[in-house]
Amino acid sequence: MLNYNKFDVDKIREDFPILNREVNGKPLIYFDNAATSQTPKQVIDVIVDYYSNYNANIHRGVHTLSQEATDLYEQARLKIQKHFNAKFNHEIILTSGTTHSINLIANGFSTLLGEKDEVLVSALEHHSNIVPWQMLCERTGATLKVIPMNENGELIMSAYEALLSEHTKLVFVNHISNALGTINPIAEMIKKAHQVGAAVLIDGAQSCPHVQPDVQALDVDFYVASAHKMCGPTGIGLLYGKEEWLNKLPPYQGGGEMIDEVTFEKTTYAGLPHKFEAGTPNICGGIAFGTAVDYMTAIGFDAIATYEHELLEYATDKLLQIEGLKIYGTAKEKTSVISFNIEGIHPYDIGTILDKMGIAVRTGHHCAQPIMDFYKIPGTIRASFAFYNTKAEIDALVEGVKKAKMMLL
């Protein structure tokens, strides 16, 4: 495996073939990392190697290919367990991604909640961490309550404490907001929720590319994430759940792989993690997820955080020099995401012009309409930086925004 002794962005960029391509005749500048990260050749090689040498169905065959594929898949689970510091490897359920993981839990709690129960979500959530809980509340009669945020995009902790009561059964909050980049004080929030006996699910989709969460230290009940935001492929992600919770929850989908014994009268379910992994999984994706974790670990999460923070400060400073530019989300603790608008210009127009210059940003409501409603705006332009981005690229973004402004105003 790799060994990056020193953080060298030029060397790191050589790992990402896509960074060599052009868009609209310009070198690609990729600032949509919060939507999906790019894939290093180490991960791409593993995908090619899997289909070239190991492709087989797992956990069933006695033949060599099936054994080897099973070993690789289960090794990946161990890597992920180690990365998140889960107590047992069967606490790591491999899913198709964050949304799948959230729905799995929401479905499971249908049988555990009643009319007097309350579920808390934060005002900073992605739609995927709002809608499944609304559906859960519709099914069970439980009440959904919202932890409010302030103008900086930070959750108001006193309001959170006031909402917690013996009726609170579940709390859902993202570790880092996708639209604003706010890092939420999850350790404190988990502790407070546990004091009233509520379980906590943390959506780590945006945090896992930047930090290495320790699920045991956090004492979190459920932690979910997607591989494609941390240099892995799409269609694979994880659900970490404490063993006691995963045993308590019913299976989500029926099918092969998740059973112990089947007769037409009754089926008994397999143990963890297979109880929640019905059907043939994304085998190659799981293996490549493991490689992505290895890759990021080799670069080092401390080095990544330090470098990305530097990019964030540099970009914030440069962008704020543009007249009429406003940044949304100015939390003290935030990651390398900048959501902004220019007075009098629709974000879609800026995004379109930037694309013409080969610069990929996200525009729109970022699947977080409640946040846009809070600021009374149709959306924002969001530039999100990864460890393979450079200050020179940020300079190009700033020039691009200036040019778009000149054309549009």
Partner 1 sequence: MTIAEIQDEIIDEFSMFDDWEERYQYMIDLGKTLPLIDEQYKTEDYIIRGCQSKVWVHAEMNADKVIFTADSDAIITKGIIAILIRVFSDQHPKDIIESHTEFIDQIGLKEHLSPTRANGLVSMIKQIKMYAIAYQTQLN
- Residue 189 or 345: the one with the smaller Cβ distance to partner 1 is 345
212/369 with CB nearer partner 1: 369
**How far apart are CB 369 and partner 1 at their closest, in Å?**
10
HEC string of the chain equals CCCCCCCCHHHHHCCCHHHHCEECCEECEECECCCCCCCCHHHHHHHHHHHHHHCCCCCCCCCHHHHHHHHHHHHHHHHHHHHHCCCCHHHEEEECCHHHHHHHHHHHHCCCCCCCCEEEEECCCCHHHCHHHHHHHHHHCCEEEEECECCCCCECHHHHHHHCCCCEEEEEEECECCCCCEECCHHHHHHHHHHCCCEEEEECCCCCCCCCCCHHHHCCCEEEEEHHHCCCCCCCEEEEECHHHHHHCCCCCCCCCCEEEECCCCEEECCCCHHHCCCCCCHHHHHHHHHHHHHHHHHCHHHHHHHHHHHHHHHHHHHCCCCCEEEECCCCCECCEEEEEECCCCHHHHHHHHHHCCEECEEECCCCHHHHHHHCCCCEEEEECCCCCCHHHHHHHHHHHHHHHHHHC
Does 129 engage in binding with partner 1 (CB under 8 A)? no
257 forms beta bridges with none
Selected from 348, 373, 395, 399, the binder of partner 1 by CB under 8 A is 348
Instruction: Tell me which residues are annotated as active site.
Output: 367
379 in contact with partner 1 (CB under 8 A): yes
Residue 123 binding partner 1, by CB under 8 A: no
Q: Give the CA count within 13 Å in the CB-facing half-sphere of 93.
A: 32
- Tokens 């073939």 locate to 17
Q: Is residue 370 at the binding interface for partner 1, with CB under 8 A as the rule?
A: no
Q: Is residue 352 involved in binding partner 1 (CB under 8 A)?
A: yes
Count of residues engaged in binding partner 1, rule: CB under 8 A:
17
> Which of the residues 389 through 408 are near partner 1 (CB under 8 A)?
407-408
Q: Which stretch binds partner 1 (CB under 8 A): 31-39, 286-294, 328-336, 362-370?
A: 362-370
Q: 199-203 and 222-226: which strand pairing?
A: parallel
Q: Which residue, 165 or 352, is less far from partner 1 as judged by CB?
A: 352
Q: How far is the CB of 346 from partner 1 (least distance, A)?
A: 4
CB nearer to partner 1: give 49 or 349. 349
> Pattern of binders to partner 1 over 150-169, x per CB under 8 A?
--------------------
Closest CB to partner 1 among residues 185, 364: 364
In the complex, least distance from residue 349 CB atom to partner 1, rounded to whole angstroms: 5
For partner 1, the closer CB: 31 or 54: 31
For partner 1, the closer CB: 127 or 167: 127
- Residue 320 contacts residue 340 (beta carbons within 8 Å): no
Per-residue string for binding with partner 1, 19-58, x by CB under 8 A?
A: -----x----------------------------------
Q: Which of 27, 185, 370, 378 binds partner 1 (CB under 8 A)?
A: 378
Q: How far is the CB of 409 from partner 1 (least distance, A)?
A: 10
As measured in angstroms, the least distance from the Cβ of 103 to partner 1 is 21
Among residues 283, 342, 345, 368, which is the contact residue for partner 1, using CB under 8 A? 345
- Answer yes or no whether residue 363 interacts with partner 1 by CB under 8 A: yes
Pick from 41, 139, 346, 402: which binds partner 1 (CB under 8 A)? 346
Choosing from 205, 293, 353, 401, the residue that interacts with partner 1 (CB under 8 A) is 353
Q: Minimal CA–CA distance to 39: which of 236, 178, 224, 223?
A: 236
Binding site for partner 1 (CB under 8 A): 24, 345-349, 351-353, 356, 363-365, 378-379, 407-408
